[in-house]
Chain A
Amino acid sequence: MKAKHQRLTLVVLALAAVGGASVLALSALKDQAAFFYAPGDVKKDGLPLGRAVRLGGMVADHSIQRLPDGVSMRFVVTDGVATVPVAFKGIAPDLFREKSGVVAEGSFNPDGSFTATNLLAKHDEKYMPPEIAGKMHETKTLKQ
């Protein structure tokens, strides 16, 4: 094979690989990107059923309710516009508490409630997930 041909083949191969990877990545993105919702968005846009999403907002005051099995809980997430009841089984993060920011990963149920598989609380006083900061900036309640 001539050097020129070899170069050309290499370039074609490289382009094919990168192109293939992009297709793979974009198709995976379409299925797997977890969209972020605030309770107000659900009220506005309807329920995103059947896909992994993130629900973010503030844990409503006096809403945390522990269930008898000792490891499940229910609470309500609010963004000042609407509220969503959330069920979660597991150990809540250390910074999870009422009137504090939370991002719940999981999916919505047809009745409008949310089943969380994982909870992310903000890590320290100075840090707030940007999604919450953006959504909540009018309410000011999160900016301690």
Chain B
Amino acid sequence: MIAEAGLAALWFAAALALLQLVLAALGVWRSSRFSVRPELVEGHRAAGERPPVAQGASTGSARTAEEGDAAKRVLTDEIMAAVRPVAVVQGLLVLLAMLLLITVFARSDMSVLLVAENSHSDKPMLYKIAGAWGNHEGSMLLWVTILGMAGAAVALLERTLAKPTLIATLGAQAAIALGFYAFLLFASNPFARIDPAPADGNGLNPLLQDPGLAFHPPTLYIGYVGISIAFSFAVGAMITRDVGPAFARAMRPWVLGAWIFLTLGITAGSYWAYYELGWGGWWFWDPVENASLMPWLAATALLHSVTVLATRDGLRAWTLMLAVVAFSMSMIGTFLVRSGILTSVHAFAVDPTRGSFILALLALYIGGAMLLFALRVGTVKQGNGFDFVSREGALIANNLLLTVILGIVLIGTLYPIVAAAFGTQLSVGPPFFDKAAGPVALVLVAVMAAGPLLRWRRDTLAALFARMTVPVAATGVMLILLATIGGVALLPMLGLALSAGLAVASVAPLWKRNLRRTPLFTYGMVVAHLGIGVSLAGMACDTAFTQATLVAARVGEPQHVGPFTVTLDGIKPVIGPNWSALEARLSARRGEDGAVFYLRPQSRYFANPVTVTSESAIATRWDGQLYTVLGEPDGTGRWQLRLWWKPFVTLIWFGGALIAIGGALSLLGRLARGRRAALREAYA
């Protein structure tokens, strides 16, 4: 019964999404015809904009016409008032469907096809629950759940946006949801039954049986799908012609929120792949990784352009375009991951037959949004002008460079598909991305260091150079230092030098300021930019200084990697909840007289499904990680061991966390300021 209830909840949610779309369309259409909301017009006049709603017939000559209009206006308001609750209930219903799916997984109800195919009763409870989204149908349901919840959150929390624009936004959100409900209900029903029910299920891919599965996909999806809110905002604003600073200020917290989760999701996913795959790498330029990087790049650009729009009323059309592009990237990402069209090291839960459905949705939404953009861009008034040497100028450079990187990643990711259409099988790997995107990224880092040190509107190059003395000096010192050491390749050397400069430059905005009166969002920017510097330093260190050893080791025979001496003490069998393993005990020592510590890499055997995975063992020190992997025995008493010493590799994820924390500080700062402004207005 639980599965049927879940399916019913899904159908109801879909019906409500349809209702939401119709009500919103009707409300927006009627409001543009019948009502001029005086308070809105005034509010917008105060902000120096034109009213968002078209001129109605309020100056009508006859009194009866005015009365009729008043009645129509009341009805319009009632229609619009209904949209918010519908959006909230829709969100709750789809959440209920997701919870019911988790329930059938937790209960190991093998009469549900999805559970039988992807779960097993001997799994630990954590993986039974997380396994609900470790497969195609479940992960799509999670996608839609987050979409519905995001719509509900907008309906509940958004207070600053002009009403017709908000209603149009919720309508756009419902339109997106409808497509995905159709996809779930007609092409990937997660609640389908199987008759007769098997005795037990096939089990979950052991590589996914890791705490990472419980947190990584939901985090990433919140970021991915959160971008849809920015898209819906842009569509709503284009429909009601309400593009300006007020709209940008309303959209910014949502973009920031989605971006924080994307950042966290990518950072966590990178670390998960790093320790789970056992290859010692943290980024493989794999299509699935690119699928999460591309929305992040677009969202980062959007975050900066929306700031220009909110503060200086510039980049109006560009910001709208970016919102559309960012959501296109998350749709393309979904398509790439779900369709299985590309070879990926993370290719889980793929089904080629469903790719075309998502492709159709992609074409529909992106095509529709682009058409709307083309129709309405002419009516978007040009924003304020500015000098090239200014904060705006630097932010435009940021946007251009991010777009260029995005373009490179997109070309590299999609090229194999295009080539396949012409009958050539090829893959585009790390060398391409490093070579093409690396230099652009370094230029971006340089601009990033300079940007926050520039004034809004206009500044002079001389002043900029004066402010950049210390960061440039830091870069120079680092370059000289690395050149003296020698043996470091050009790209990591530049990366390290620039990261030093960026780290100094990013805290420069706090220089000589009253730290207690500095707004929270300035701290946010400082921390996030510092995070990029820290992360870049980690990447460059890993590329430049990693040392690796691959040996067939005998028990008791010392091996050397970096400053460490590692000895295989022995191998013993261990038993886990649903696996058995061979576990090596490695004793490691730093230098000649360091304290001995132990590492225990495993080779795990899972019975359901039959798989062997290797579990790396990692020792984290303040200056890096010792990473060990156990391979196979060679039959003569030797065991394959792979040892890496990775100096400062942890900075990569530490930097990622800093970026997300910076985003969170900025979000809190913006919300607090928004609340204070609202209070001031209320008491004025």
Contact = CB atoms under 8 A, between A and B. Distances in A.
Interface of A: 3, 6-7, 9-10, 13-14, 17-18, 20-22, 24-26, 28-29, 31-37, 52, 54, 66, 69-71, 89-92, 94-95, 103, 105, 120, 123-125, 127, 129-131, 134-135
Contacts of B424: 35
Interface string B200-239: 0000010100000000000000000000000000000000
Contacts of B352: 130
B412 interface: yes
A120 B629 CA distance: 17
Interface in B638-654: 638, 640, 642
A7 B316 CA distance: 13
Interface string B625-641: 00001011011101010
A108 to B, nearest CB: 15
B205 A120 contact: no
Interface in B590-616: 603, 609, 611-614
Given A71-B550, A91-B550, A123-B348, A34 B426 contact: yes
The 6 closest A-B pairs by CB, nearest first: A70-B552, A36-B425, A32-B432, A91-B631, A21-B404, A28-B436
Interface SS of chain B: mixed
A128 B207 CA distance: 16
Given A33-B426, A70-B640, A94 B403 contact: no
Nearest to A20: B404
Interface stretch (B335-343, B503-511, B571-579): B335-343
Contacts of A29: 411-412, 415, 428, 432, 436
B350 A17 contact: no
A33 B435 CA distance: 12
Nearest to A67: B634
B674 interface: no
Contacts of B345: 120, 123
A135 B420 CA distance: 12
B427 A34 contact: yes
A52 B431 contact: yes
22 contacts: A3-B382, A6-B388, A17-B401, A17-B404, A18-B403, A18-B407, A21-B436, A22-B407, A24-B408, A24-B436, A25-B411, A25-B412, A28-B435, A33-B428, A35-B425, A36-B426, A90-B642, A91-B550, A92-B632, A130-B342, A130-B352, A135-B425
A70 B630 CA distance: 13
B348 A35 contact: no
Given A18-B407, A33-B415, A71-B640, A52 B429 contact: yes
Contacts of A70: 551-552, 634, 636, 638, 640
A91 B613 CA distance: 12
A9, A105, A123 interface centre (most CB from chain B within 10 Å): A123
Contacts of B40: none
Nearest to B554: A70
Given A35-B425, A131-B343, A94 B611 contact: yes
A17 B221 CA distance: 31
Give chain B's interface residue range (CB within 8 Å of chain A): 35 or more
Given A29-B411, A124-B207, 13 more contacts: A10-B396, A24-B440, A37-B425, A54-B427, A66-B635, A90-B642, A91-B632, A94-B612, A105-B429, A123-B207, A123-B345, A124-B609, A127-B350
B422 to A, nearest CB: 13
A66 B552 CA distance: 11
B43 interface: no
A6 B613 CA distance: 58
A129 B428 contact: no
Contacts of A103: 343
Interface in B505-541: none
B57 interface: no
B427 A94 contact: no
Nearest to B118: A126
Interface string B391-408: 000001000110110011
Given A66-B634, A123-B348, A130-B343, A95 B428 contact: no
B583 to A, nearest CB: 15
Contacts of A52: 429, 431
A22 B424 CA distance: 21
Interface string B348-388: 10101000000000000000000000000000001001001
A91 B427 contact: no
A54 B427 CA distance: 8
A26 B407 CA distance: 11
B555 interface: no
A21 B407 contact: yes
Interface in B47-91: none
Contact of A91 (B342, B347, B436, B629): B629
A129 B629 CA distance: 25
B432 A33 contact: yes
A89 B549 CA distance: 12
B429 to A, nearest CB: 5
Contacts of B603: 94
A127 B348 contact: yes
A35 B439 CA distance: 24
A138 to B, nearest CB: 16
A9 B388 CA distance: 10
